[in-house]
Amino acid sequence: MTNMMSVKDVSKLWNISERRVSALCKEGKIKGAKKIGRMWMIPKNAQKPKDGRIKDGLYIKKGNHNKLPLPIGISDFRLATSEYYYIDKTMMIKDFIDERPMVSLFTRPRRFGKTLNMDMIRTFFEKTNEDTSVYFKDKKIWSCGEKYRNYQGKYPVIFITFKDIKFNSWEKTFDAIKEVFAKEFLRHRELRESDNCDEFEKRTIEKMILGEVSEVELSGALLDLSRMLHKHHGIAPIIIIDEYDIPIQQGYMEGYYDKVILFMRNLFSGGLKDNKHLSFGFLTGILRVSKESIFSGLNNLSVYSVLDNKYSSYFGFTAKEVKEMAKYYGHSDKYKEICDWYDGYRFGKTEIFNPWSVINYFSNDCEPRAYWQSTGSNDIIGEIIANADDEIFERLTSLVNGNTFVTYIDTGVIYPQIKNNPSTIYSFLLVAGYLKTLETTSSFGGDFMCEVSLPNREISLVYHKEILQQLTDIIPQATAVSIQEAIFSGNSQKLKELIENLLLQSVSSFDTAKESFYHGLMLGLCALLGGMFISSNKESGEGRYDIMLRPKNKNLPGIIIELKAAKNCKVEKLKELSEAALKQISEKKYDTDMKAEGIKTIYKYGVAFSGKHVEIAVD
């Protein structure tokens, strides 16, 4: 065996991961490699297989064949960089080392790469038995110099993720958090035999692993584990907490908010506030939640939200990164379409694409769809709609028409504020990824006045389904089906009766409602229809129609709806308004586009509202 090397030896010699060496052995790409027992042995004179990878972190292979797979749902940094197409975000580490804030909180929408980046940070800094430098030697951070390389592999790391803590009671949530910490204590098994930990601390470890701890004991888990790691390794650990606010959102929706807030406050206070056993801390989430005093007194916390310039290019894809990705997969000609569908976000001053959607777009043969839809819980959106007043509803529905508006944004918005102060919904929609900022002006107290709009075509579709379709909470399913049948059959009398009953039974008084409210109501109803492309306030013919439903199957009828609204109208006046709306469809030739598409049957509706009364004219 003197002429053979272990996988570990080859990993160091070739500057690739042990996992990659084992994979090459399994694939038969290393001549003379033999498996002895459970271990691969490689001849000392074996040549490193050539795979054409370049050294800028993109791992692009030569030729048009055998492209690297897309990292759909991959949040393991080692796996992502070894086996998948990876966009190099390691300069985030340099930016951190240059400033070294004690505790950093990154708030971004779901599916924007938070977990992968935290695993990257863990892999870079964590002290392990494996030589993890191999994952960074061909990355941008490695070329920044010895100053930065000296940080690699030097710290013990506590890594906690709350991304799967989604339960309907505090008891189940507490059990799940106990399990998360049990696994992390078990991962640091070196402490169980450490000469630097006393018997009391070792009993604490066993209790944590067995889950035999109270709320008080578990709330001290970060402090206890960081202290023991510091004693054992001689250097204070880094604490990483991913998706810290998932249990908080769940607690708010399921009625145990106060309990989870109290627990989290004590947990974070012990681990992150005045903890002499902490080198650095990292947290990620959607909301900052600072005003809930979770980070009470934590004066070493630096928050980086979607409005901040620092770290703005590391979550999501930049334009340059998307262009390189499109070129690699042979779809440079699709760049404009990708922009239309998935661009439009602005983090600080950086233009950002939705990474989840871009990856899924390439994976699905460049078919543009709303891939971001239903990638997380949207119960909170229902809460938003349920508490929206006329003005808010008008603003929300105006966004679908391509409109913008200026609003106050508080990136530290908290869940109870959504119910108590519904105007905070714009702040939530921005940090959650449903809105983008066009112009931002600093306001008092570090908050902002922002002009906001929908980011792109994908979000317009998601907005229809996840915002406007929340009307299903106030529209009985049977009523929704009957309204659809009436619209498709041209039965204006039946449609009138159904809408009036809906307004009378399900909606509070809207005697002062504007046309935009009814526009939103009808748009929401139309969003319930399947097999249709819905558009609103777009140009066709000689003007802008209110609502158009274009059938995916051209044998089905198309629908054009023009709306009018007035206050305190008598029946005859309301009928006149509906006829005027119907006449406008014909005079302005709103059916021009659908006729050009070969749609043979087109129903035209003139709909007039006054308070809870409606008149409908149809052609």
Give the tokens for residue 255: 């009625």
- What tens digit of pLDDT does each residue of 553-594 get? 777 788 888 988 888 888 889 999 989 999 999 899 998 888
The predicted structure's pLDDT at residue 528:
59
Cβ burial of 559 (10 Å; 0-12, 13-18, 19+) is buried
- What tens digit of pLDDT does each residue of 591-607 get? 888 888 888 888 888 88
- What tens digit of pLDDT does each residue of 395-405 get? 777 786 678 88
Instruction: Over range 238-256, report the average pLDDT.
Output: 93
Residues 6+ apart with CB under 8 A from 248: 257, 260, 261, 264, 287, 289, 292, 294, 415
Backbone angles phi, psi at 415, to 5 degrees: -60, -45
Percent of the chain with pLDDT over 90: 45
The predicted structure's pLDDT at residue 229:
97
Distance between CA atoms of residues 512 and 503, nearest Å:
14
Backbone angles phi, psi at 34, to 5 degrees: -130, 145
Instruction: Over range 162-175, report the average pLDDT.
Output: 95
Query: DSSP secondary-structure letter at 126?
Result: B
3-state secondary structure of 396: helix
Q: Which long-range contacts does 17-20 make (Cβ < 8 Å, 24+ apart)?
A: 17/78, 17/82, 17/134, 17/135, 18/130, 19/78, 19/79, 19/82, 20/82
Q: Is the pLDDT of residue 165 over 80?
A: yes
Give the tokens for residue 411: 């990136």
Backbone angles phi, psi at 347, to 5 degrees: -105, 115
pTM above 0.85, yes or no: no
- What tens digit of pLDDT does each residue of 188-243 get? 999 999 999 999 999 999 999 999 999 999 999 999 999 999 999 999 999 999 99
Instruction: Over range 441-446, report the average pLDDT.
Output: 63
The predicted structure's pLDDT at residue 57:
39
Cβ burial of 253 (10 Å; 0-12, 13-18, 19+) is middle
- Give 153's pLDDT tier (boundaries 50, 70, 90): very high
Looking at this protein, which amino acid is placed at residue 293? S
Whether 385 and 470 have beta carbons less than 8 Å apart is answered as yes
Cα 86 → chain centroid:
19
Give the tokens for residue 83: 């086996």
The predicted structure's pLDDT at residue 54:
35
Instruction: Over range 453-476, report the average pLDDT.
Output: 71
Please report, for the chain, the start and end positions of each structural domain, with discontinuous segments joined by +: 4-43, 319-363, 379-466, 474-618
The predicted structure's pLDDT at residue 284:
96
Whether 274 and 296 have beta carbons less than 8 Å apart is answered as no
Cβ burial of 600 (10 Å; 0-12, 13-18, 19+) is exposed
- Of 14 and 574, more confident: 574
Closest CA to 547 of 442, 440, 468, 454: 468
Distance between CA atoms of residues 462 and 317, nearest Å:
20
Give the tokens for residue 388: 């929206």
- Give 423's pLDDT tier (boundaries 50, 70, 90): low
Whether 523 and 397 have beta carbons less than 8 Å apart is answered as yes
Query: DSSP secondary-structure letter at 220?
Result: T
